[in-house]
Amino acid sequence: MKTTALVKYAGAMVALAILSACGGGSAVAPSTAALNGTYIGRTLSVNRRPVTAARLSPLPSYATILPDRHKKSKTFEYVFSYYGTYASIFDYPKSDQQIGSIPGDGGQGCTNVLYGYGKKTFWNVGGQNQITEYKVPKTPIKTLSVAYSFPSSCAMDTSGDLAVGILEASGAGGGDVVIFKNASGSGTAYTTPLDEEFFDGYDNQGNLFADGFTGDRSGFALVELPKGSTKFETITTSNTVGFPGSVQWDGKYLDVTDQYPNAMYQYTVSGTTATLKGTVLLSGASDCAQTWIATGVVYCGDAGNGDGEVFKYPAGGSAIAVLTGNFDEPLGVVAAKK
């Protein structure tokens, strides 16, 4: 299939010096290497690596500040840049400025809660087959791997199982989901109706949902692995979703983010039908590749604006804060407590 050049990053960027509050970690400047983006169908690839964003930011950027100061907090937020680059660490709402980084990370993240702030740990799916658990704020404690080249997403259920989606693979495996019982071992691969898996998430009943594209790369699909089942089934949504985004339980609804309008669709699911109950619009966002719902807020890793953003949830509207730091095409975001 013919590919079309999308954008090329070029030019040296001046590093922004930021003192780390995370045990001496230093800030990482945006990469000076060119990032070459192409589309194959509707799927974006950067430097020949498929990514879960719908579009790119014009340049690596330093975000502007929209202060929303609060009392001191022990919460940490992680904005993951392009696969294999780094994660930028924040401690919002104490501050909206970057306080550290984790070299080698990127992609997406998840924690040991369905929504809210993870408890002491978080996971990062950030490399060719790298899946790493960290103790907050940045200590690696466990590494898992999959037998596929491009894992894309992760999610945890309340019993501690870890589900890792496969965006694309050479030969068989694209669109699969690998589930690690108790977040350990070699994992069990489950075939889905998806050709490419972008995001996944559990609901409060232990049902696993994932979204992505079907075989022709033109059709969005939402699929479910019901708890106790070994077979994924396709879920029909009552509205049209343009581009796969995060799948996450919000305490009441199953949320699916649509990257095109930057809208979070709130569904109730019965059988194989997802019925739209509400829409949360993230005004001013360009491309929320991954969103993470916490307490009263939702975080956005914005690949289009090249920053991290904070919105009220479920109110939505304009951002209440923009996280200030270094970014190379943000693809993911997650939040956890120390």
Give the model's pLDDT for residue 168: 78
What digits encode the pLDDT tens for the residues 281-321?
999 999 998 999 999 999 999 999 999 999 999 999 999 99
What's the CA gap between 176 and 178, in Å, rounded? 7
Judge whether 146 and 165 are in contact, CB under 8 Å: no
- Quickly state the pLDDT bin for 167 (edges 50, 70, 90): confident
Phi, psi of 183 (to 5 degrees): 55, 40
- Classify residue 118 by burial, with Cβ atoms within 10 Å: 0-12, 13-18, 19+: buried
CATH at residue 141: 2.120.10.30
Q: What is the mean pLDDT of residues 36-63?
A: 59
Largest Cα–Cα distance of the chain, in whole Å? 53
Give the model's pLDDT for residue 46: 66
Judge whether 100 and 138 are in contact, CB under 8 Å: yes
Q: Looking at the 3D structure of the chain, how many domains does it have?
A: 1
What's the CA gap between 122 and 294, in Å, rounded? 14
What's the CA gap between 117 and 335, in Å, rounded? 5
Inter-CA distances, 328 with 73, 76, 251, 323, Å = 27, 20, 32, 14
- Judged against a pLDDT cut of 70, whether residue 37 lies above it is answered with no
What digits encode the pLDDT tens for the residues 230-282?
999 999 999 999 999 999 999 999 999 999 999 999 999 999 999 999 999 99
One-letter amino acid identity for 96?
D
What's the CA gap between 125 and 144, in Å, rounded? 10
Q: 62 - beta bridge partners?
A: 326
Residue by residue, DSSP assigns 161-224 as: -EEEEEEE-SSTTTT-EEEEGGG-SS-EEE--S-SEEEEEEE-TTS-EEEEEE-TTS--EEEEE
Proportion of the chain above pLDDT 90, given as a percent: 67
**47/217: higher pLDDT:** 217
- Quickly state the pLDDT bin for 83 (edges 50, 70, 90): confident
What digits encode the pLDDT tens for the residues 103-149?
999 999 999 999 999 999 999 998 777 899 999 999 999 999 998 87
Give the model's pLDDT for residue 129: 75
- Quickly state the pLDDT bin for 36 (edges 50, 70, 90): low
Q: Which two tokens stand for residue 249?
A: 């339980």
**67/181: higher pLDDT:** 181
What digits encode the pLDDT tens for the residues 18-33?
223 333 334 444 543 4
Give the model's pLDDT for residue 6: 32
How do strand 332-337 and strand 75-80 relate by DSSP bridges? antiparallel
Q: What is the mean pLDDT of residues 205-218?
A: 88
Judge whether 323 and 307 are in contact, CB under 8 Å: yes
Give the range of the structural domain holding residue 288, as residue numbers without chain letter: 4-337
What's the CA gap between 201 and 154, in Å, rounded? 7
Proportion of the chain above pLDDT 70, given as a percent: 77
Say if pTM beats, i.e. exceeds, 0.85: no
- Quickly state the pLDDT bin for 48 (edges 50, 70, 90): low
Peptide bond before residue 137 is cis, with ω within 30 degrees of 0: yes
